[in-house]
Amino acid sequence: MSHFTQNWMSYLEDSKSLNDLTIPGTHDTCTYNESNLAQCQTMNLETQFKNGIRFWDIRLKVKDGKMDAYHGIVSLGFTFDDILRTSTILLQQFPSECIVMSISHEKNKDNVELYEKLWPVIKDLDYWYKEDRIPKLGEVRGKIIFMRRFIAPLSNFPIGINIYDNWPDDKTAEWESSAGIKFCVQDKFGGHLSVKLKNKFENHVKPVLDKAKNNENRLYMNFTSGTLDGGGSVFFPPKTLAKETNRLLLDYLGGKGKARFGIIPMDFPESESGLIRKLIGCNFEPFHEIIVQKATYFANETDGTWTMSRYGSNNFFNNHLDLVFIKTTNTQSGKVEIKAASGDFLYQKLTFDKPTVFNSETNGTWLLMNFKNPFFLNSGVPQNAPELVFIKTKNTESKKVELHIASGSSGYQKMILQTATVFNCENDGVWTMAFYQKTSLQPDLIYIKTKNTASKKVEVLIASGASNYRTIILNVVTAFDCEEDGVWTTAGFDGYGADLVFIKTSNTASGYVEVYVASVKSQYKEFTLKCKTAFKCETNGTWQIMPFENDYTQDLVFIKTANTQNNHVELHVASGKR
**pLDDT tens, position by position, 313-329:** 443 345 678 999 999 99
- pTM value > 0.75: no
What CA–CA distance (Å, rounded) separates 112 from 131?
A: 19
The model's pLDDT over 345-357, given as tens digits with 9 standing for 90+, comes to 999 999 899 999 9
Q: Which pLDDT value is given to residue 375?
A: 46
What CA–CA distance (Å, rounded) separates 312 from 309?
A: 9
Q: What angle do CA 217, 218, 223 make, to 5 degrees?
A: 150
Angle between helices 113-122 and 80-93 (to 10 degrees): 30
| Domains in the chain: boundaries | 3-8+19-281, 290-574
Phi, then psi, of 505 in degrees rounded to 5 = -110, -5
CATH number for the domain formed by residue range(s) 3-8+19-281 = 3.20.20.190
Q: Which pLDDT value is given to residue 83?
A: 97
How many CB atoms lie under 10 A from the CB of residue 116? Answer: 12
- 487 close to 478: Cβ distance less than 8 angstroms: no
- 51 close to 270: Cβ distance less than 8 angstroms: yes
CATH topology of domain 290-574: Tachylectin-2; Chain A (2.115.10)
Q: Which pLDDT value is given to residue 95?
A: 97
C-alpha pair distances (Å), 224 with each of 231, 233, 266, 519, 548: 21, 23, 5, 36, 33
What does the H/E/C string look like for 354-408? EEEEEECCCCEEEEEECCCCHHHCCCCCCCCCCEEEEEECCCCCCCEEEEEEECC
For 192-215, what is the mean pLDDT? Answer: 86
- Of the candidate ranges 16-30, 291-305, 378-392, 535-549, the one whose mean pLDDT is the lowest: 378-392
Q: What angle do CA 189, 267, 245 make, to 5 degrees?
A: 70
Q: Which pLDDT value is given to residue 311?
A: 61
Please give the radius of gyration of the chain, using alpha carbons only, rounded to the nearest integer: 29
The chain-wide mean pLDDT, for the chain, equals 91
Q: Which residue has the higher pLDDT, 494 or 339?
A: 339
What CA–CA distance (Å, rounded) separates 550 from 314?
A: 20
- 515 close to 522: Cβ distance less than 8 angstroms: no
What is the longest distance spanned by two Cα atoms in the chain?
A: 94
